[in-house]
């Protein structure tokens, strides 16, 4: 399986120390780092099942992604789940990884309404309908737009509701992939 011999394990530990700048040395071989991470995760999973979540994985650098994909492909027999969360429409190093994909869409109407009821139960019906329409099932928008609407002091603009700072940052991050003319 994923276990290394003692000499290889020591080489792996040394490689990880260099990677995490706990020791000096030349950049280690990506394969050696992958084996060390695989061994570390497999050893940890012997104690209890393990979930490894990599958020915004589209921003990983090449060597980090290569190590994590290597590990994910080799953990089939271990009680470990590696989950990479990537944003749709942003090219990344995981695109050609061969890992299984599960695409998530927006919430359906009933779920979106239920989330809005939990996060903003006192919304007037007209504002509730408007937020449900503008959020289009996006959970973050359903949580953030009620606060933005409340800041308007009852005067709703005819155009879209103001974009809360967190939503603005989330969507602005997508602009960096566009050419300067498009931006």
pLDDT per position as a tens digit, 51-70: 999 998 988 888 899 999 99
- Asked if residue 22 has pLDDT above 90, the reply is no
Digit-coded pLDDT (tens) for 97-149? 889 888 888 999 999 999 999 999 988 888 898 889 888 898 988 988 887 77
pLDDT value at 169 more than 70: no
pLDDT > 70 in the chain, percent: 79
Q: Specify the pLDDT at position 1.
A: 43
More confident residue, 122 or 175: 122
| Cβ atoms of 10 and 43 closer than 8 Å | no
Q: Is 60 exceeded by the pLDDT of residue 43?
A: yes
C-alpha span between 139 and 104 (Å, rounded) = 12
pLDDT for res 14: 79
Each residue of 2-21: pLDDT tens digit? 455 777 777 777 788 878 77
Q: Is the pLDDT of residue 89 over 90?
A: no
Percent of the chain whose predicted confidence (pLDDT) is above 90: 27
pLDDT of residue 24: 85
Which string of b and e fits 29-45 if b means at least 16 CB within 10 Å?
ebebbbbbbbbbbbeeb
Rg (CA), the chain: 22
Which one is predicted more confidently, 181 or 73? 73
Q: Extract the tokens encoding 45.
A: 């999973």
């Amino acid at each position: 399986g994923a276990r290394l011999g003692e000499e290889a394990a020591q080489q792996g530990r040394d490689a990880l120390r260099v990677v995490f700048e706990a020791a000096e040395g030349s950049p280690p071989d990506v394969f050696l780092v992958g084996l060390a991470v695989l061994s570390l995760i497999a050893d940890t999973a012997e104690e209890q099942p393990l979930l490894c979540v990599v958020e915004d994985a589209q921003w990983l650098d090449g060597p980090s992604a290569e190590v994590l994909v290597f590990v994910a492909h080799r953990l089939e027999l271990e009680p470990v789940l590696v989950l990479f969360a990537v944003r749709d429409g942003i090219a990344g190093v995981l695109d050609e990884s061969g890992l299984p994909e599960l695409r998530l869409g927006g919430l359906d109407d009933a779920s979106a309404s239920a989330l809005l009821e939990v996060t903003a139960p006192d919304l007037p019906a007209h504002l509730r309908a408007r937020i449900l329409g503008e959020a289009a099932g996006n959970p973050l928008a359903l949580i953030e737009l009620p606060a933005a609407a409340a800041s308007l002091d009852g005067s709703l603009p005819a155009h879209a509701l103001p974009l809360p700072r967190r939503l603005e940052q989330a969507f602005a991050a997508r602009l960096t992939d566009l050419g300067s003319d498009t931006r």
